[in-house]
Amino acid sequence: MSRHETSPTTVQPASHHRPNACCFCWCCCCSCSWNEDRERAWRAGRETKLETIPNCEACTKPTPEEVRGWAQSFDKLMKSPAGRNVFREFLRTEYSEENMLFWLACEELKNECNTHTIDEKARMIYEDYISILSPKEVSLDSRVREVINRKMQEPSSHTFDDAQLQIYTLMHRDSYPRFLNSAIYKSLLQSVSRSSSES
C-alpha cells in the first residue's frame, strides 16, 4: 500500500459541523448521519462527484394518514419526500442506501434539459453507481448493463431508465416488506399517531 492510499478501516476524526443535518429531528431517524465516518473512510482518496444529493430531502412532517399510506403501496412511499427520507434511512441500516441514491440521481437527470449537463450528470451516475470499480455499484443484470453501455455513447436524460426501473423493483420486492416491519417505520407511525391524538 503506498503512502497516498488509505486503509479502508482507517476512520477519520468526526467533524462536529454537519451542514446537511437531518431534517427528521421529529422522528426516530435523527441519527441519519451515524455512518458518515464509515462512508468517509471508504471515500478517502476518491472524490464522489454526485454530492448534490443532500443527506435528507427537504420536506414537511408527514401526517398520520400519509405515514399509514406508505404501508398501502410502495408508490405512495416513493412519491412522498418524507417517505423517501425514512425509507432511505432504513436502507442505510441494511447497507443498501446506494439504491435510493441511484434512483434519486436518475430522477434528477430526467428533469435536466441542458445537453452538456445531461452528459456530465450521466457520466457521474455511471461512475458512481454502474461502474464495477465503484464502492456504490448497484446490482443490475447483464442485459441492462449492455443497454447502458450502448446509450453512454450518446447519453440522454433517459439513459438509465431500464436500470432505474430494475432498482425500483428490487427495492419494492426486497427492502419494502422489511421496511414495513422495521422499528424505524413502526416507531415513526407511533410517534405521528401520538402527536395527532394529543393535538
* DSSP states of 66-85: HHHHTTT-HHHHHH-HHHHH
Does domain 64-196 fall under CATH 1.10.167.10? My reply is yes
Query: What is the distance between the alpha carbons of residues 136 and 79, in angstroms, rounded to a whole number?
Result: 23
pLDDT of residue 199: 61
Instruction: For residue 87, give the nearest of 165, 155, 184 by alpha carbon.
Output: 184
- Cβ atoms within 10 Å, residue 91: 20
pLDDT of residue 55: 61
Domain ranges of the chain: 64-196
Instruction: For residue 93, give the nearest of 31, 145, 142, 10 by alpha carbon.
Output: 31
Query: What is the distance between the alpha carbons of residues 29 and 32, in angstroms, rounded to a whole number?
Result: 6
Mean pLDDT per block of 10 residues along the chain (199 residues) reads: 46 42 42 41 40 59 94 97 96 97 97 96 97 95 96 97 98 98 95 78
pTM for this entry: 0.72
Inter-residue contact 92 to 55 (CB < 8 Å): no
pLDDT of residue 56: 64
pLDDT of residue 11: 43
What's 160-199 look like in SS3?
CHHHHHHHHHHHHHHHHHHHHCCHHHHHHHHHHHHHHHHC
User: Looking at residue 128, what DSSP letter applies?
Assistant: I
Query: What is the distance between the alpha carbons of residues 19 and 166, in angstroms, rounded to a whole number?
Result: 32
pLDDT of residue 195: 78
Query: What is the distance between the alpha carbons of residues 199 and 191, in angstroms, rounded to a whole number?
Result: 13
pLDDT of residue 193: 86
